[in-house]
Structure 1
Amino acid sequence: MSGDLYRLAMTVLHPGFEGTSAPDWLRRALGEGLGGVVLFARNAIGEGLVRDFRAENPDTVVAIDEEGGTVTRLEVMAGSSFPGNRALGVVDDVELTERVGRQIGRMLAEIDITLDYAPSADVNSNPANPVIGVRSFGPTPELVSRHTVAYVNGVQGAGVAACAKHFPGHGDTVTDSHLALPTVHAAREVLIERDLPPFQAAIDAGVRSIMSGHLLIPALDPSAPATLSRTVMTELLRGELGFDGMLVTDAIEMRAVAAMFAPGEIAVRALNAGVDAICVGLSTEDSLREIRDAIVAAVRNGTLPEERLAEAAARVRALSTWYAAQASLRAKVRDDIDESAGLRAARAALTTSGTAALDRGPLVVEVNTRFNKAVDPATPTGITSALASMLPNTERVQMEPEGELPAFDERPVVLVVHDAARHPWVRDTMAKALALRPDVIIVDTGIPAPPEGAIHVATHGISRVSALAAAEWLLR
């Protein structure tokens, strides 16, 4: 056990970083065999940045969360060019979902990104879910399964690896794993029938990667979160479902696991459970080396078998090898640009009640529902911008969560909310607005709860194209 052991440990680490260029410590780590890098909106992502990574290590697995809709890293300032999963599930056209996936994959291929941490294969069975919601294709396993397959086929058909998440299913939770450890209380039989089918479908479709969820599921393993459970990661996912691709953790700084163990201990336990790649959403040179050294120490003291570490590193390299082999496919789809795919899907996803025909600039009251931690805080709903581009004198007022409505004047009023079905205070706000102005137009960008008799537009997600589709409907 020598330098090779250190290199194996580096191969399974996939950190994120601060800044818009590759820091010196990251370059050095790549030269020492660092297996992957995770990109976020804060990194000002472009082809040059990825080229810098590959100059140090051509086999680097460059990963990103580019789900479309609410979760975008490449288009965070303007909003995504593609509606999210919920909107695609509402349309329920698998050919369109595959087309959207293909366009997202093509966009990633253009800047040489290896792996897309998408799609969310979670069945959003609990309407109170604070972190999945519109990131899921819907509330039933059949719907989620067919669109998970379509999305995977789309992304991987562009020569970029897809990643089904968050195994074994984050849909039946009322806790955000970024903040605490969620518990799924369902019986094993329910999990098998409800939560596992989309992952089995993704595996059968050849998905190259799966991401674990930081979830406690007593029916599967009452003693450890799924990410750290050999029962879940190896016996269930590898053994029963037959997955042999790269298994990556959700970010290990999330409080669901970070509140339990130090990063190095999380990494060792995850590797022992059967995970292959450790996602560290934000790292520094010191923290990365601490995790690496913890892995090496665990091998040396017999806590982590070297064969298990070597197996994990081999799966990381296998994903990189697969990506390299898709070069001709990426070249083939480079010119397959379909700029209208996202807008077509967004228009088809709109569900509406009542009639509206705005003919002058409205007062847009944006109710600032706090988004979950997976959503970049800079992500705009886009509704005001879309309306302002069509109607001069459109004015926006931002209302803080559970705050007071502004005074209304004679102008039309558009109330923009998110996830009314999940927030009683949002429903109360809608009721108050309608009591003051029965002609208020309500636009819900999340899981909706339309008030009876109101003019209501549901986009089923946040994206630039969803906002544009809603604005078109309001002006038609």
Structure 2
Amino acid sequence: MSRDLCRLAMTVLHPGFDGTSVPDWLRRALGEGLGGVVLFARNAINAPLVGQLRAENPGTVVAIDEEGGTVTRLEVLSGSSFPGNRALGVADDVDLTERVGRQIGRMLAELDITLNYAPSADVNANPANPVIGVRSFGPAPDLVARHTVAYVNGVQRAGVAACAKHFPGHGDTVADSHLALPTVHASRDVLFERDLPPFRAAIGAGVRSIMTGHLLVPALDPEAPATLSRTVLTELLRGELGFDGMVVTDAIEMRAVAAMYTPGEIAVRALAAGADAVCVGLCTEESLHEMRDTIVAAVRDGVLPEERLAEAAARVLALSGWYAGQAALRDKARADVDPGVGLEAARAALTTTGTAVLDRGPLVIEVNTRHSQAVDPATPTGVTAALTRRLPDTAMLRLEPDGKLPPFDDRPVVLVVHDAARHAWVREIVAKAVAARPDVIVVDTGIPGPPVGAAHVATHGISRVSAQAAAEWLTR
């Protein structure tokens, strides 16, 4: 096996790993030129861990999904210090969005993380979308475009690369690509008017990376998902939109593509289509070598041009080089602490109706809506904790989808729901609670349904600061 060809193949592979320290096989791979590593909450991310990665390969692209709001890897146990995209879109203050992006970038700069897989530039056109929802700035292309630019500017002016996702747009889907292959049925004209403007704006703002979505978009390519489509990645993204940064795949173990091909085949097809980095959310030494060897064999067999592999590796190295050149920006960002911006944004996003105020500890019933697999299951809504800090006699009960409301006593009742607009069963529980207790207070942490109850509070996302803003309003 050619050492140079093997190194090129290693450069384009960006795996995640299990555990809280760098395994020996990953250390060896980094020494052999592994181009990137993806970190998750399960890794208990800290500076020493990143230091272990960089000790083996100083230029490795260390990546993370730190969107803020529901998707956080650094603050998964406490909830994010920053509201997510939907809340920022509701507040609709681009300066505030840029400040949030800068503080997220500052957190990553402190850890020496190269690349943030954020923001979601998807236009959430379909209210039934099970995987984007509050991760989008909203349902309007112009709103999403201007906040995408603000977020990208905030992160990158902190010396960390941003990544607009999920190209060409995951907002008009009713399937979760973690579980199945979604299809976007829109016409080419609609795609260009609705889904592509945020990506075009991000490219204009100099975004360093774009992540592909595992989506079938028949108006662009009726056969291959976007991640594996040359039409989408090379002709559209590179050719028509003019993007020359690093294209990274969404995690290839997601069922949308994993049900179709082996990891090695997905890697080869994605590279041939125009991707530069192959994200593997959870990898082993065996699977890493299988992907490397499949890529090398594809080049030798003429299936994957060596020039395309070399181009992909060069773009990975260019991103690494860009990061190395931003050290002064990161130093400046580390000193630019804006500690109140997350709560400021959460307060600005809060929408309320009704006048009910809590003057004693309520019974909080958390309706346990199951989030998409992009959201770590340990992420709390935070509402109960925020209310308990203000009203220590607060009690809490979790209600599963097949559960029933408990008998009510004379305590105030707060019903915490998520995405009532999307779940009929959630709306049914809310209706029953309001019928039994007209003074019930409803807090919706997702895309809300119509306001009901003595008070209705919509946070437009899950984060520690969103919960704090809601608790402040309810105990004002």
TM-score bin, normalised by smaller chain: over 0.9
CA-CA distance at 1:248 after TM superposition: 0.1
Structure 2 residue aligned with 1:403: 403
Q: Report what 1:314 is aligned to.
A: 314
Shift of 1:154: 0.1
Amino acid at match of 2:191: L
Aligned position for 1:152: 152
Q: Provide the residue aligned with 2:62 in structure 1.
A: 62
Per the TM alignment, residue 357 of structure 1 is displaced from its structure 2 partner at its CA by: 1.4
Q: Is the contact between residue 440 and residue 453 of structure 2 (CA under 8 Å) also seen in structure 1?
A: no
| Distance across 2 between alignment mates of 1:452 and 1:270 | 47
Q: Tell me, yes or no, if the aligned pair for 2:13 and 2:278 is still in contact at 8 Å.
A: yes
Which residue does 2:30 correspond to in 1? 30
Structure 1 counterpart of 2:230: 230
Please give the alpha-carbon distance, in whole angstroms, between the structure 1 residues aligned to 2:38 and 2:114. 10
SS at match of 1:163: strand
Q: 1:389 maps to what in 2? A: 389
Q: Deviations over 1:253-295 (max 9, x none)?
A: 0000000000000000000000000000000000111000100
Going from structure 1 to structure 2, the CA distance change for 1:454 and 1:424 (only over 3 Å counts) comes to farther
The letter of the residue matching 1:137 is F
AA matched with 2:95: E
CA distance in 2, matches of 1:331, 1:337: 12
- How many Å separate the matches in 2 of 1:50 and 1:185? 41
Partners of 1:186 and 1:77 in 2: CA distance: 38
Q: Output the amino acid matched with 1:150.
A: A
**Residues paired across the two proteins, number:** 476
Equivalences for residues 287-298 of structure 1 within 5 A: 287-298=287-298
Contact 1:164 1:209 in 2 (8 A): yes
> C-alpha distance in 2, partners of 1:84/1:455?
23
Counterpart in the other structure of 1:279: 279
Shift of 1:2: 1.1
How far, CA to CA, are the matches of 2:450 and 2:393 in structure 1? 27
Amino acid at match of 1:194: R
Which secondary structure does the structure 2 equivalent of 1:389 belong to?
A: helix
Equivalent in the alignment of 1:330? 330
Task: Report the equivalent of 2:197.
Answer: 197
| 1:366 paired to 2:366 | yes
* CA–CA distance in structure 1, aligned partners of residues 26 and 93 of structure 2: 42
Letter of the structure 2 residue corresponding to residue 141 of structure 1: P
Deviations 1:345-393 (A, max 9, x none): 0001000000121111100000000000000000000000000011011
Give the corresponding residue for 2:213: 213
In the other structure, the counterpart of 1:74 is 74
Q: Answer yes or no: is the 8 Å Cα contact 2:355–2:454 preserved in 1.
A: no
The amino acid of 2:343's aligned partner reads L
In 2, Cα distance between the equivalents of 1:184 and 1:243?
Answer: 22
Which residue identity lines up with residue 469 of structure 2 in the other structure?
A
AA aligned to 2:183 is: T
Paired amino acid for 1:63: A
What is the aligned partner in structure 2 of residue 249 from structure 1? Answer: 249
Aligned partner of 2:42: which letter? R
- CA drift of 1:453 comes to 5.6
Deviations 1:29-82 (A, max 9, x none): 000000000000000000001111111001100000000000000000000000
- Taking structure 2 as the reference length, what is the TM-score of the superposition? 0.99
Aligned residue in 1 for 2:379: 379
What is the alpha-carbon distance in structure 1 between the residues aligned to residue 321 and residue 356 of structure 2? 53
Maintained 8 Å contact 2:17/2:283: yes
Question: Is 1:418 aligned with 2:418?
Answer: yes
Matching of residue 304 in structure 1 with residue 291 in structure 2: no
In 2, Cα distance between the equivalents of 1:190 and 1:465?
Answer: 36
Q: Is the 8 A contact 2:434 2:452 kept in 1?
A: no
Structure 1 length normalisation: TM-score? Answer: 0.99
**Aligned equivalents of 1:453, 1:72: Cα separation in 2:** 31
Structure 1 counterpart of 2:90, which letter?
Answer: V
* 8 Å Cα contact 2:12-2:312 kept in structure 1: yes
2: CA distance between counterparts of 1:138 and 1:66? Answer: 19
Opposite residue 64 of structure 1, the aligned amino acid is I
Q: Could you tell me how far 1:452 is from its partner in structure 2? A: 4.4
Mean alpha-carbon deviation: is it higher for 98-107 or for 446-455? 446-455
Per the alignment, residue 342 of structure 2 pairs with: 342
SS of residue paired to 1:334: helix
Q: Is the 8 A contact 2:356 2:454 kept in 1?
A: no
Deviation of 1:100 (Å): 0.2
Deviations 1:374-416 (A, max 9, x none): 0000000000000001101110000001321111110000000
For residues 225 and 317 of structure 2, the distance between their equivalents in structure 1, rounded to whole angstroms, comes to 26
**Worse overlay, 397-406 or 461-470:** 397-406
TM-fit CA distance, 1:450 = 2.6
> 2 CA distance for matches of 1:169 and 1:154?
22
Residue 451 of structure 1: CA displacement? 3.8
Mapped to 1, the partners of 2:282 and 2:367 lie a distance apart of 30
Question: The residue matched to 2:159 in structure 1 has which SS?
Answer: coil
Contact 1:121 1:169 in 2 (8 A): yes
Taking the aligned partners of 2:392 and 2:192, their CA distance within structure 1 comes to: 53
- Identify the residue that residue 266 of structure 2 maps to in structure 1: 266
Is contact 2:434–2:453 with CA below 8 Å preserved after alignment? no
Structure 1 equivalent of residue 50 of structure 2: 50
CA RMSD of aligned residues (A): 0.7
Cα distance in 2, alignment partners of residues 450 and 217 from structure 1: 32
Shift in Å at residue 190 of structure 1?
0.2
Following superposition of structure 1 onto structure 2, how do residues 72-151 of structure 1 map, counting pairs within 5 Å?
72-151=72-151
Say whether the 8 Å CA contact 2:80–2:463 is kept in structure 1: yes
Per-residue deviation, residues 412-463 of structure 1 (Å, max 9, x unmatched): 0000000000000100000000000000000000000134464100000000
Q: How many angstroms apart in 2 are the aligned matches of 1:131 and 1:254?
A: 13
Query: Contact 2:438 / 2:453 at 8 angstroms: preserved in 1?
Result: no
Q: Are the equivalent residues in 2 in contact too, given 1:402–1:426 (CA < 8 A)? A: no
Which residue identity lines up with residue 340 of structure 1 in the other structure? Answer: G
CA distance in 2, matches of 1:60, 1:347: 38
> 1:38 is paired with a residue of what secondary structure?
strand
Q: In 1, distance between residues paired with 2:134 and 2:452?
A: 22
> 5+ residue gaps in structure 2?
none
Q: Deviations over 1:211-250 (max 9, x none)?
A: 0000000000001000000000000000000000000000
The secondary structure found in structure 2 opposite 1:366 is strand
Secondary structure at the aligned position of 1:186 is classed as: coil
